Amino acid sequence: MKFADSPVLTPTFPPWRARVVLGLLAAAFGLLAGRAVYLQGWNNDFLRAKGESRYSRSLELPASRGRVLDRNGEALAVSTPVKSIWAIPEDATLSAKQFEALAQALEMPRGELRKRVADTARDFVYLKRQVPPEVADRIAAMKLPGVYQSREYRRYYPAGETAAHVVGFTDVDEVGQEGIELAFQDALAGRAGSRRVIKDRLGQIVEDVESVRPARDGSDVVLALDARVQSLAYRELKRAVEAHRAKGGGIVVLDVGTGEVLALANLPSYNPNNRARLTGEQVRNRAVTDQFEPGSTLKPFTVALALESGHVSPLTTIQTAPGSLTIGPATIRDAHPAGALTVEQVIQKSSNVGAAKIALALPAEHIWGMFDGIGLGAAPRLGFPGEAVGKVRPFKTWRPIEQATMSYGHGISVSLVQLARAYTVFARDGELVPLSLVKVDNPPAGKPLLSQKTAVAVRHMLELAVEPGGTAPRARIMGYRVAGKTGTAHKQEHGGYVPDKYHSSFVGFAPVSRPRLVVAVMIDEPGAGQYYGGQVAAPVFSQVMAGALRLLGVAPDAPMKPIEMPSGVLEVRDSI
């Protein structure tokens, strides 16, 4: 009998059993194949990403914030890299010695540091931000567990308090908070880039995985400011504010040809590099955001309008005797009652009665049109945050007394920048120029407002005002012909005038033969006895204008003769 036919081998199982096993095996294979197809086909991206995350890293490429430069390339705000020191409190188990060394390096109070390191509820805590790189390197060398560093930037302002109001500052995350830093935030801010790389076991980069998205550094902003003129303006303003024990002050220097703001300073100021005790009073950019009653500095515009419309000529006589003028219930007074004055003398002696009489002969609508034309009641659009608009009421609501007082700058309010800009009309043969904080390559076209003849006539009157017999002989400069107008006005508080608080101002330009600069000075509440614009503000104008003309290399247009101050009789005070 053959082995195969042995009855022992005859299967005793039911025949379906083998089929079931075969079926199960086939199903298991099918499952495996299906899983394989799923992993390799549909779920591929997820797995690949998981794999990559084991060896590839995404690195951030830091972008630096652009610099703020003055017109000559001098840096006014620069970012330099610093480190921030942070910790994972749970991992930061420091020995007493390590803790002491860390506290010493960071120059932090022990309690404060202890509190931060011990805060195990959080997984991330800054120990100190903006640490200088040398200190950070020392800390890195200590190899403290759970203490890490990351790179950030800190903004430095080399010009310090001098240009603080123009440049402004950023917060700790380099986001602009004030001034140019805020106004040009978009341009200055960079955009961080990123790259994915493969790193080896030692953490060295082996190659790029994807294309690199490069960091875009913020672009530099070149201001119209001239750091030298700015420094001079700030210094002289500070000297005057201190000498007259004033509450504050502002100064604006404009380039007549281009409308560029060459200097803009305010007091009180602050050091943007150390803003530990900063008050709103210090941060306020007064020249731009504060409005005040300009006083007599507006007289030339009323006179210009009268000249332009042919109502008067420079030599028309106006009777100002007896030095006061009663309109309804109110009376306008002159500081020095005079008899008949020519229109020129009205400006030179700053006669309120004269200006009021000229204004009353003009239609209110035209006067309003003049104020509107020179940019009063509209933001100067410098790009600064919070520019003051000023206040010019619609002419339909003017009463005669208001029309009269507005002619000499009362019942109307302006910012110092608006006032400085308005004077470009006289400096530029009748054109108003748009202002610019950033450097201008192509001088913008001016907006014509007055004829050249009128502008020249008013220039002559303003030149008379700074000569002996005018209100501001202290504004004169050796070697240059100067023109300008003083202003002295009572401060307004709580809706009324304060009898013993004043705004003293002076606005002028030079050299008269070919005006190059407009300088406007305002001193807020001089408290040392003197308060007339010609005594308080005009000397600042003179110092700053003289220095700026020399710095800019403007040719003198007058003989180099020393300036003698007239004796008291010849110096006329403003009518307030």
Partner 1 sequence: MARLNLVLLAVLVACALGLVTSQHQARKRWAELEREQARAQQLEVEFGQLQLEASTWATPARVEQVARERLRMHPPGLKRLQVTDTRTGAAQ
Active-site annotation, residues: 296
**Integer Cα distance of 486 and 300 in angstroms:** 11
Which distant-in-sequence residues (6+ apart) come within 8 Å of 293 by Cβ?
409, 410, 411, 412, 413, 489, 490, 492, 503
| Closest to partner 1 by CB, 412 or 549 | 549
Near partner 1 by CB under 8 A, which window of 95-103, 230-238, 327-335, 338-346?
230-238
Longest dimension (CA), the chain: 160
- Please report whether residue 64 would count as binding partner 1 according to CB under 8 A: yes
| Closest to partner 1 by CB, 75 or 379 | 75
Q: Which of 92, 159, 241, 318 binds partner 1 (CB under 8 A)?
A: 159
Nearest distance, CB of residue 532 and partner 1, angstroms: 28
N- to C-terminal Cα separation, the chain: 145
Q: β-strands 317-319, 340-342: how paired?
A: antiparallel
Q: What are the C-alpha distances in Å from 131 to residues 80, 88, 127, 176, 277? A: 11, 18, 10, 20, 20
- Token digits for 341? 């004055």
Nearest distance, CB of residue 225 and partner 1, angstroms: 12
| Closest to partner 1 by CB, 231 or 351 | 231
H or E, element range at 327: strand 324-327
Site for partner 1 (CB under 8 A): how many residues?
27
Residues between 450 and 469 that touch partner 1 (CB under 8 A): none
Nearest distance, CB of residue 429 and partner 1, angstroms: 24
Reduced to 3 states (helix: H, G, I; strand: E, B; else coil), residue 85 is strand
- Please report whether residue 345 would count as binding partner 1 according to CB under 8 A: no
Q: Which of 96, 445, 560, 569 binds partner 1 (CB under 8 A)?
A: 560
Asked if 435 contacts 318 with a C-beta cutoff of 8 angstroms, the reply is no
**Integer Cα distance of 425 and 300 in angstroms:** 11
Residues between 233 and 272 that touch partner 1 (CB under 8 A): 235
H or E, element range at 77: strand 75-87
The DSSP code sequence of 268-280 is: S---TT--TT--H
| Closest to partner 1 by CB, 82 or 456 | 82
Which distant-in-sequence residues (6+ apart) come within 8 Å of 380 by Cβ?
288, 387, 415, 417, 418, 421, 435
- Please report whether residue 232 would count as binding partner 1 according to CB under 8 A: yes
Nearest distance, CB of residue 558 and partner 1, angstroms: 10
Residues between 192 and 211 that touch partner 1 (CB under 8 A): 204-207
**Integer Cα distance of 420 and 487 in angstroms:** 13
| Closest to partner 1 by CB, 227 or 537 | 227
Nearest distance, CB of residue 230 and partner 1, angstroms: 8
| Closest to partner 1 by CB, 80 or 513 | 80
Reduced to 3 states (helix: H, G, I; strand: E, B; else coil), residue 507 is strand
- Token digits for 184? 């040009």
Nearest distance, CB of residue 402 and partner 1, angstroms: 45
Q: Which of 227, 370, 440, 517 binds partner 1 (CB under 8 A)?
A: 227
| Closest to partner 1 by CB, 232 or 254 | 232
- Which residues of this chain interact with partner 1, rule CB under 8 A? 64, 74-75, 78-81, 156, 158-160, 162, 204-207, 227-228, 231-232, 235, 478-479, 555-556, 560, 562
